[in-house]
Every structure is written in structure tokens, then in C-alpha cells.
Structure 1
């Protein structure tokens, strides 16, 4: 018996020996860069460098990351996208959900274990659309024992794609969330990036298998990827290993990740195009100078010429070469079956509406997400027996309370002509039903549980953490509530998150209270530095049922006003402003100084006479 105990002890010690602690000291600040070669601007770098570093660790490793906000004018935060943060909910990163904003000059420490996850992930700011200004990078989690990898390859290569804006995000948001943008049209990017630049050359060796890890770190637009005369064999989506699936091209939304095997030719003196293209269907307008199709190069022979750049603007010609790929067809390598019938069903209808200030907002069931005055996790920890009451989390946080180990079904009906990529923190989910898109805005397709074609669920559904809903369509997700915490579910088109397209899942709050119990001293200090309270309900009241003073969405439009009415009013306003300018330009501006004095004196006499008559 003693020998067995010694053996078990040594086994545990060996297990601890293989895991490592990785320490990172990062200061974020502005770095001047020219990512697309067309416009120099400030980007948010780390330790005075940009692009930002990749975090590469192994299963069960610990990360201790000290993030110092060296930005003089902005708050910051960091989210580890796709990491489940099991037991580490307070390290998840979205401000006013699980932590306070990190103010200028503050340092926050993220301390967590990555657990048993493997695969391709990324980190990014979760403070508005800030990651579009550069605060982003890749995370790779390797198998603790390489022999456990379910696929073989020779080399590991990372690739990020982005949409890119020349203006900084605060300036873009100011223009976007404005009564002068009554349709809510998303900001159009000025370019796309491929590994944070353009026209990249990837030197490859013949007869070699590469594992290509791909992340779309953009704010808005999905992208197509294609390598001429080569195939992708998809083996992982959002960190989840899948049955190998061969495709000619990959369609990747913002927030999604793919790992694909690329086998090079046995011998070749030819070089090939590696194309990334913006999904033009997502753009309300296409500026003449927007390069929809970008060309990079797979180079076998540096001495051989490269093929000509694919036509920048010929998206239709490019799509003719695509053979279609539906991620719904991907099945998990684990063989995980469809989860049982749900214990709780959450159904939300998504729409875009103009509210009383003339700005277009995104709403779930007529409610636009507005951050509370206390981070929601901190409300859980301070609310005692009321923690299971969803009302304490605010009227505009779209919060749902889940019990531990429930099977949850989330139905989303999209009443919008756009495509949207939705991401769930803290969970991977099964995608069990999804409709194709439709252009018929008057008749969006809603999920109907009594419709047999809509409920013909796959036996082994696709599993991931970021999924696209098609225009005027729906999807149905299922997952197990086995990770106590406060988890954000939101559109990863970050312009839509800015408009309020989010909800919150408070999962097993009593278990959160039992296991977390307190906030780290460092995180308390971060809150103190930005004067955000760490106790109370959504209104920061200690009487948890008193929501007086909470943050609320804008009131509805005045009766009789419509979105079209606001468009007309905006156009009329612009015409009026132009008219006033014209009067000044072609009238008053031409009046000489002497004449202007004479006019003023004459007006004064008229006013004096008028006063005398009164």
C-alpha cells in the first residue's frame, strides 16, 4: 500500500514538473506604424513594439501577465479569446463584466491556468473597439506531450488577417454612433491586412506539411482565404479538433480561428498566389479605392518570378473560383454527440432600431446592452442570497441566470439584413441548427421548434465558440452550464457591440460565491483608480432591489417618428447647413467692410424705431 502511495505521489510530482509558469510584463503604448503601406498612424503596441508578440504555452501551464496601461488618454483591458478560464472567471477580461477598466497609469495582473485546452486562440482588448487600433495578438497552446496530437505535420505557421482603418477607433465611433448616420451603416475599412501587413511572401519547402493557424482579428469583415493549386485540410476550429475536412478555400469571420494542414508539392519551380479577400456582401458601400482582393505569395523558388497580383477590385471573378464551404458540416474529432433536450431555452430576437437620440442601436428583445455601474461579477460576489435574481444585474444588461449543469439552448433570430459573428465567453457550444440567409427583409426566417426541417439536428454537431448567423436568419446553440462564472455573449463585429449587441449569462452564481468569495487586491486597486465601485447592484446601490440611478438605454423615438423620418430629417439638416453656408459664401462674404458697417447701422435704426413704437 505504501508503495502505491509513493507511486501516486511521484506521478503527481511529474505532472507538476511538466507544467510551467510563464511571466509577462507588458506595457501598452502608442507606436507609429504603417501597416498597409498607405497611411502612417498610431497603433497600440506592447513594450514599444508592434505587431505584438505571440503567447505560446503548453497544456496546464500558468500565465501571469502584468499589463501596464501606458496610454495617456484611454482605458484598456485584455481578453483571452477562446480560453474557457475554468475557475478563473475574474481573469476573463471584458470591462464592466468581470473587471473594471484599467485606467491610464494602472497595472492589472492576469493570473490563470490554461487547463487542458489546446489549439489556436488570441488575446485582444475588450474596451470598446480598441483592438482595432492594434492591441491584439495570437495565443498558441501546444499539447503537453506532442505524441497526443491527433494530426502530424512538419512545421507550425501562424497567420492573422484583419480589416484595417486609417482613423483611430474613438474617432470612428464618434462618426458611427451619430444621428448623421441614421441607417447605422458600419464604418468601411480602408484595407485588409495579412499578418499585420500586405503582400506577404511565405517561403515554403517542397513535400512538406505545414500546420497553418489562422485567426481573423478584424473588427468587422469576414474574409476568404485561398492558395492557388493547393488544398486546406481543416483539423481544428476555435481550438476544437475536428475530423479532417479538405477544402479549396476557407471563409473566416471576425473572432474565428482555423488550423489547417497545407501539403506542398513534391517539387516545383513555380510560385503561387495566396489570396485573402474581404466579403463584399457585408459592406453597405464599396469605395472605388478599396482593395477587396489582396495577393500574397507562396514561394517555392526565390529565383522564379511571382505571378501577377490578382485584380484588386474583381471580387466577382475571385468568387467564381470558390467551391463553397459550410462550417456546419464539420464534426468534432472527440465524437461528442448532440446534447439532450435543454433544461432552459433562451430565445432572443436581434434587431437594429433608431432610438430617441437619433442613433441606431442593436437590441436583443428590444433591449440594448448598456454597461452597469458595477462589474457584473462583483455584483454576484456582493449580493448574498439575491444573487439568483436577474433584476439586480440591471434592466439593460440582458442578463440571464443559469443553474449549474443545466443544458442550455440559445436561439437567435436575426431580424437584420447583415451577417453577424457571435462569440460566447467561457464555453464551446454545439451549433445544432442554422438557416441560410435571405434578402427578404420583410419576412426574416425565424426558428420554429415545430418545423421538422429546422429540428433535424446532426448527431455530431459542430462545436466552436464563434459562429455566424446569416442575414434575416437564425441559429440554435446548445451547451452545458458546467463552468460557473459571468460570461459575455456578443456580436464580434465590434461596431455592433458598440451599439449594444450583447447579453450576459450569470452561471451558477451561488457556486461563484462559494469558490471565489473575494476580488484580488490588485483588481480592487484597478477599480479604485477609475472610481468604479466593487459592490452593489447595477446602479451601485447596496439595497439590491433598488435600481434607481442605473444606466439605461435611450428612450424610444417620439411617436410618429420612424427611421426613414430620421433619414429625411438628417438630409434636410445637411441641405439647410449647405444653404446657410451658400448664403454666407456668395452673399455676406462679398459685402465690403464699409457696406457691412452701413448695413449694421441701418438695422440698428430699424430696431430702435420698433422699440419706440412698442
Structure 2
């Protein structure tokens, strides 16, 4: 049975039902991706990426075991694009994962592309562009998969889909060059202008007394984690990132960008009062809070539209919830000790072009010339050699069905929400702020949770660590990256090449995918450098800028810049002094003396800041 869902407009709140057709269906979406104009915060109208001429975008829905077909036409005119179905494992269909230059070529303007996959997971997901930082321009929306065997079926009356997000007034292709710039050596990320609920502000949700509502909430933002609370109502958590959980009560939850959570809210039995609910951006992520920024967005549970909409309370009036304590409903026990442990040290540092980059174990990611999955498919037995994927794809080869443990040591001063494609994982250790690197002295096998929390996106605290495990039972090429878009632009990405010889046996790249490569003049055979003769010859592979010269630190660069500015000011004063008459000269003598003193002080700061050291200082 085929059902065509070419497009339907997203409502402020979409109410779903658990109606299921007998057997699996084929759900077809025809998506014409275009530019539209939008002004969701009422402050600034801007170009936004829409589907079929409209924005906000459609919420995708399916039932578990349905086949989903998405026919994409790119009519943006000036940009390529892709679609990634965030959180869906793509078991057996790694070529449909949608990460640009990883599992596919970008879809060039004017080209068509088809995604075709079976949904074998239920829960709360989303879809978004995964190409050159594009999705903050609007190409993102929830994707809800229903389950006839949902463990809490019958315990709620209606379902509500709710997205939270940050919003920028400028396009990403304007913001990235400003961010990745030698004039921004500290790597201060662009601060959003607004927060949104369901891609708007002042959202109202009509509710009835004495009813239970199941909320599916997705943070589709680019940068800001958000605190979420419903005043006068507790949340009963029942799912995170597509993993059903035992019920857990929370006053407030925190969702990093890309995380999802489902919870039930039971309404009161009287209708005399309406109640605010809030998404509050985590301002600790911002280097500087711009004057006038409202980092909160407010909606209301409306019992009676004739009653006033009350002002919300402050975030510090609510208790935060620790997702580490969640217990999966299926009671899946701790995986065995790992066959392979990968340790990743996260740092930020400036390279020789004066721009700040992000590093995982001394490597900043640079996209290869050939999508990594296509390198797997065209390099034969050499696909098991990480060399063919290039040094800067930061690739790790995972053995089929092995237990993999990943240790992330966050040596940066910022938070990082890391996301793994193709899997969720058991989080077995997570530190608080500034705990230092993980070591076996921090935890032991016996101290890990017997039934660990699972999700596919996890927050790593500043100066802290996270340890997680998963079974490599899904052959494919899967990115592992920070989901803050600006940090991806800086290169905070690694690549998991899982069971490459099994990939070669199990998938075939569709012709329309290869046609998109040809239309965009993207190579689709050979190693990361496009070499189809000697797969171990990486001559010509894309590389990052060279390191800073020995002895220079980011702080030294900043000091040098200010020193130069002071010197220029001093020279201007001297020139002016020479151009005035002797009577006026006495009036500027003091100014010249002050300028010379400032110049001398800044030269001293520069000398101190650029003293040669054994290794560049790691700063954010």
C-alpha cells in the first residue's frame, strides 16, 4: 500500500494518533527544496530554506517497519544540499544516511536524488541538511515514528510534537566566513538572535482538563542547548533519542542541540489558569551576551483563552534533571568489555592562517575529495586500511560485531554535544566540569551502571570526560561529531568505517546518487585524494592549513594585533604633531607621551605572550 504525502503544512502543534495500517506501508515524500522568506521571531525577515515553497517544513511521520521514500529536487539555485535522518540507524542502507562527502555527494542545484529506506526504529527523530553547515538556514524538522507495541500505549490521550531551536538573522554562508576568520582568533561562536518554539514565538497549545498529553520534543538548533520547563506541571520522561525509558519525573529538562525527549504531562482538573512553558537558551555557551538579547522563548498551555497568559518564572527556580540516571525500558545490560578502545582528546587551537580550528586527537577534519563510503566501495581489500580514507577524515576502522568503547576527554572550556550516526550507545561514565582526563582510576568495570542509559547524542562537560560503548553490528560509514554547527565547521569530526568488507557485500550505490556526483563534478571513485591506481598514494588529498610557527600562541597573536593598533595610533599622533604650529605643539605633547607609554606596554605584553614554549597553548 503506497501513501503519497507530498507536503502538508506544519501546525503550531501537530496532534498524532496511534492508528496503524495492517502491515507495513510505503510512505512517499516529494520534497522540492527552495528558498522562501520568513520572519519567525518578528524581528527580521530573511531568506530561509523551505520545502515546496513553504516554511516551516513538514513533520515527517511513519510507523515502524514502513518504507520511506523521499524524492528530492534541489531548486536552491546557488547551493548543493543533502538530507540526513538524524537518529535512524539506516541498517543495511548506509548509502541513505545523507552526510555530504561521507555517504553521498552533495545534490547540486537542479539535480534529483532519492532516499529509500526501511524504518526499523520507533521514537522521536528529525531530518536536516548535512552539508556545509546548511541546516540552520531552516532545512530541519521533526520525524516521528509510531509503534503499535509502544509500552505506554493507552496511558495518554493525545500526542504533541514540539521543536525548540535557536535562530539567526544572517545566512550560514555569511556567518561561517565571519566566524572562521583571523579577526576571530578566540573562536567566539555566532550568538543567535532568538529562540523559537515550533519555528515561531508566543506559541499556544490548547489543552483540556484532566487529560494526559505525550510530548515529542526535539532541539533542532545549531548551537544553543535549551532548558525546558512547564510551569505548574511535572514531566514524566518515557523516551530519549529513540530509546524508551522507565518513567522518570522531572521539573525541567536540558536538551543539547540534536537531542530529543518524550514525556507525558497530565493537565489539571480546573480551567481557571493558563500556564507558561519555556525554552531557555544555555547562555554559558556564549562568549558574550549581546545587549538586548532575549534568550528565552515562551509558550502557554491554554486551558481558557479568555484568561491571561502569565509571565514565566526564571530558570533557576527549577531543578535540573540528570539524564545519566535514566534506565532503558528494555533493561539491556552493560555490554562486555571492549574489543577496541578509542580515546579522543578534544582541543581548540589556531593554525597558521590565524583561524581557530577544532581537533580530535590532533586532527582537524577536512572533507575528502571522494565520499568516504564511495572509497569503501571502490578500493577492494585496501578498504580495511585507514590510509585510503586520508589522514584528515580522521577515520577509525571498526571490526564487525566488535564491542567498541570511546573515551572523550574534553580539554576545551566549552560544552560539546557529540552525536554518533548509525548507532546509539551506552553511556557508562560521565564527569562533572573540570574533572580532567578519564583514566581507569576514575572508574572500574564494576562501578559502571548495570543497565546504562542509551542515547545517540551526549553532552561532554568542559574539562571533563564521557565514556560509552556500542556494538559494531551495523556496517557502514558513520560520522561521530560535535553537533554544534560552528564546531563542525571548525573540524570537530571523526569517521567510523565499520566493517568495510561487509559494506562492499551488502549495499549498492544507486545510479541517481552517482548522477548527482557527476552533475556536481565530485569524484566518486578511489581514495580520499581521488587516486584510482594506487590507493595508498594520497598525493593531493585535502589538508588543513599548516600549524602556527613555533613559539606563537593564540594569546600572542591577540597581543600582537593590539600592539600594532597602538603603534599606529602613536604614529598618527606624531604625524599630527609635526603638522601643527609650535604654539599648538605644546597641547599635544602630553598625548604623544601617553601614546608612547601605551606602545611600550603593549610591546612588553607581546614579548611575554610570544615567548617560545614546548607546545602552543590550547585555548578556546
Alignment of 1:162-241 (within 5 A): 162-241=165-244
Per the TM alignment, residue 578 of structure 1 is displaced from its structure 2 partner at its CA by: 7.9
| Structure 2 Cα separation of the partners of residues 37 and 585 of structure 1 | 49
SS in 2 for 1:320: helix
CA distance in 1, matches of 2:26, 2:576: 68
Deviation digits for residues 457-497 of structure 1 (CA, Å, limit 9, x no counterpart) = 11110000000000100000100000000000000001000
Q: 1:151 & 1:566 partners in 2: Cα distance?
A: 62
Give 2:11's aligned residue: none
- 1:577 and 1:271 map into 2 onto residues whose CA distance is 60
1:316-366, CA deviations, whole angstroms, 9 ceiling, x for partnerless residues?
xx2321212110000100000000000000001000010010000000111
Quick one: which of 542, 550, 562 aligns to 2:541?
Answer: 550
Hey, what's the Cα distance between the residues in 2 that align with 1:526 and 1:378?
13
DSSP-derived class of the 1:423 partner: strand
Alignment of 1:59-70 (within 5 A): 59-70=64-75
The one of 123, 130, 136 equivalent to 1:132 is 136
How far 1:309 sits from its partner (Å)? 5.3
Q: 2:306 aligns with which of 303, 306, 311?
A: 303
Q: Distance in 2 between matches of 1:578 and 1:522?
A: 60
2:529 corresponding residue in structure 1:
539
What is the root-mean-square deviation in Å for CA atoms of aligned residues? 2.1
Structure 2 CA distance for aligned equivalents of residues 264 and 202 of structure 1? 12
Any conservation in 2 of the 1:449–1:455 contact (CA below 8 Å)?
no
Map 1:250-261 onto structure 2 (within 5 A).
250-261=253-264
- Matched with 2:509 is 519
Taking the aligned partners of 1:330 and 1:39, their CA distance within structure 2 comes to: 40
In 2, Cα distance between the equivalents of 1:587 and 1:82?
A: 69
> Would the aligned equivalents of 1:216 and 1:254 in 2 still touch at CA under 8 Å?
yes
Q: Does the 8 A contact of 1:434 with 1:476 survive in 2?
A: yes
Partner of 2:422: 426
Shift of 1:295: 2.1
Name which of 422, 428, 435 aligns with 2:431: 435
Task: Map residues 320-399 of structure 1 onto 2, 5 A cutoff.
Answer: 320-399=316-395
Once the two structures are TM-superposed, the CA of residue 514 in structure 1 deviates from its matched residue by 1.1
Deviations, residues 303-325 of structure 1 (Å, cap 9, x unaligned): 11121355xxxxxxx23212121
**Equivalent position to 2:485, from 494, 516, 519:** 494
Aligned to 2:280: 277
How far the C-alpha of 1:147 sits from its partner, in A, is: 6.4
Counterparts of 2:575 and 2:171, CA distance in 1: 33
Q: Is the 8 A contact 1:448 1:454 kept in 2?
A: no
Name the structure 2 match of 1:41. 46
| CA shift digits 1:256-290 (9 cap, x unpaired) | 00000010001231011111111111111111211
The whole-number CA distance in structure 1 between the counterparts of 2:118 and 2:347 is 38
Q: What is the total number of aligned residue pairs between the two structures?
A: 559
Which secondary structure does the structure 2 equivalent of 1:218 belong to? Answer: coil
Q: Using a 3 Å threshold, how does the CA distance of structure 1 residues 149 and 541 change in structure 2: closer, same or farther? A: same
> What is the TM-score when the length of structure 2 is the normalising length?
0.87
> Which secondary structure state, in structure 1, belongs to the residue aligned with residue 284 of structure 2?
helix
Please state whether the residue corresponding to 2:135 is helix, strand or coil.
helix
Who is 1:90 aligned against?
Answer: 95
Q: Please tell me whether the aligned partners of residues 433 and 455 of structure 1 are also in contact (alpha carbons under 8 angstroms).
A: no
User: What stretches of structure 2 of length at least 5 have no aligned partner?
Assistant: 1-19, 580-620
Q: Residues 572 and 30 of structure 1: is their aligned pair in 2 closer, same or farther, counting only changes over 3 Å?
A: farther
User: Compared with structure 1, are the counterparts of its residues 268 and 504 closer, same or farther at alpha carbon in structure 2 (3 Å cutoff)?
Assistant: same
Q: Cα–Cα, structure 1 residues 190 and 505, in superposed 2: closer, same or farther, change >3 Å?
A: same
SS at 1:90's partner residue? helix
Question: Is the 8 Å Cα contact of residues 388 and 401 (structure 1) preserved in structure 2?
Answer: yes
Among 242, 247, 271, the residue aligned to 2:250: 247
Partner of 1:28: 33
Partner of 2:590: none
In the alignment, the residues of structure 1 paired with residue 462 and residue 514 of structure 2 have an alpha-carbon distance, to the nearest angstrom, of 42
Question: SS at the partner of 1:162?
Answer: strand
Give the Cα separation in 1 of the matches to 2:564 and 2:180.
17
Aligned residues of 1:227 and 1:249 also touching (Cα < 8 A): yes
* C-alpha displacement of 1:75: 1.1
Distance 1:335 1:398 in 2: 34
> Paired residue for 1:120?
124
Aligned equivalents of 2:445, 2:352: Cα separation in 1: 37
Alpha-carbon deviation of 1:586?
Answer: 13
Q: Are the aligned partners of 1:332 and 1:460 in contact in 2 as well (CA < 8 Å)?
A: yes
In structure 2, how many angstroms separate the alpha carbons of the residues matched to 1:278 and 1:456?
A: 34
Residue pair 1:180, 1:570 contacting (<8 A) in 2 also: no
| Cα distance, 1:293 vs structure 2 | 2.5
Pair 1:262-2:265 in alignment: yes
Q: 1:574 to 1:68 in 2, by over 3 A?
A: farther
Measured in 1, the distance between the counterparts of 2:111 and 2:565 equals: 43
Contact 2:277 2:312 in 1 (8 A): no
Unmatched tracts of structure 1, length 5 or more: 1-14, 311-317, 439-443, 589-614
1:592 maps to which residue? Answer: none
Which residue does the alignment assign to 2:55? 50
